[in-house]
Amino acid sequence: MKIAVWKNPVTYPVFKGLSDAFGKSVYSATREQLTSDLQKGLAQIALMPSDVALANPEEFDIIPAVAVSTWNNPYALLTVGAELGSKTIGIIHGVEGRLNALVAAVVLKEHYGTEAALNERVSLPDEIASDALISIPLDGLPGAADVGALTLDLGQEWYELSNYPFVWAVFVTRKGEATPSVITTIRDALIFMDDHRADFASQWSKDVEVEDFVLNDLRFRLDDLAVASLTELCDHMFYYGVTPEIQPVVFASLPSNDGEGFTD
């Protein structure tokens, strides 16, 4: 069983944990590659950006119980200066930054009264991370040069806006292929990772800040808070033109003998 994991810093611990469990059957891929591989049957499970899964309910089944969410995200940042006081901010991003850009547009509008004009590029310069966001002012303000830069943590901004953790990625299969065996396999692997979080955190990184993030802010549960967050994201995806209508959040069915072992 091939498992494709979205190649993103916030999903890297899950990639490492699944690689330890399933070996070379686990591989990382861009959002477009893993979507294509899943559609073609080259992968049976994908840890997919949540916006892709939510926008295509007719193609994918979302596996319940497990996902990747955070209270903050030091890898999803937007640095702004005087443009934060502008009526409109331009945000340049690549394909891999599409979800970050959507979150940025939501929090800028809802928190700061600033519209974001999103400009997706096929690629970004080599020195810039593929998921990075680049802000540019679209209308000048007096004293702009005197305003210092401010870096927004988009995960934290979402939490302050909604009171929910942001769900960056969910596990999916092709429609109709989320069998009880597939569901329990991936769920049990994430439960094991969560139960042994401290051990994994020390293995993944020797950086104290990264270890603290994995221990305290990275969530593997698709619990009520995460489901509510996905539901709110669906609303925003409609209002920001990502989907033609508000999509319901629908999950594949758990096996009838599902236990209660994965709770807070």
pLDDT in tens, 8-27: 999 999 999 999 999 999 99
Residue 169 and residue 139 share a domain: no
In single-letter form, the type of residue at position 52 comes to V
Say whether both 171 and 64 belong to one domain.
yes
Q: Are residues 131 and 144 in the same domain?
A: yes
Cα 78 from Cα 91, distance rounded (Å):
9
DSSP 152: E
| Residue listed under structure tokens 């709770």 | 263
Structure confidence by residue, pLDDT tens digits, 55-90: 999 999 999 999 999 999 999 999 887 667 678 889
Judge residue 113's burial from the number of C-beta atoms within 10 Å of its C-beta, 0-12 exposed, 13-18 middle, 19 or more buried.
Answer: exposed
At 187-237, the pLDDT tens digits run 999 999 999 888 877 776 667 777 888 888 999 999 999 999 999 999 999
Domain assignment present for residue 250? The answer is no
Among 103, 135, 162, the domain boundary falls at 162
Do 65 and 172 lie in one domain? The reply is yes
Q: Residue 140: which domain range?
A: 77-162
HSE, CB side, 13 Å, CA atoms: give it for residue 11.
Answer: 28
- Bridge-partner residues for 91, per DSSP? 118, 135
Same domain flag for 132 and 114 = yes
* Sequence-ordered alpha helix ranges (H) in the chain: 12-22, 31-40, 50-55, 98-112, 154-162, 180-195, 197-204, 208-216, 224-239
- pTM of the predicted model as reported, rounded to 2 decimal places: 0.90
- How many domains does the structure of the chain reveal? 2
Query: Hey, CA dihedral for 96, 101, 104, 110, is it positive or negative?
Result: negative
Residue 260 lies in a domain: no
Strand-pair partners of 115: 88
State the DSSP code for 217.
T
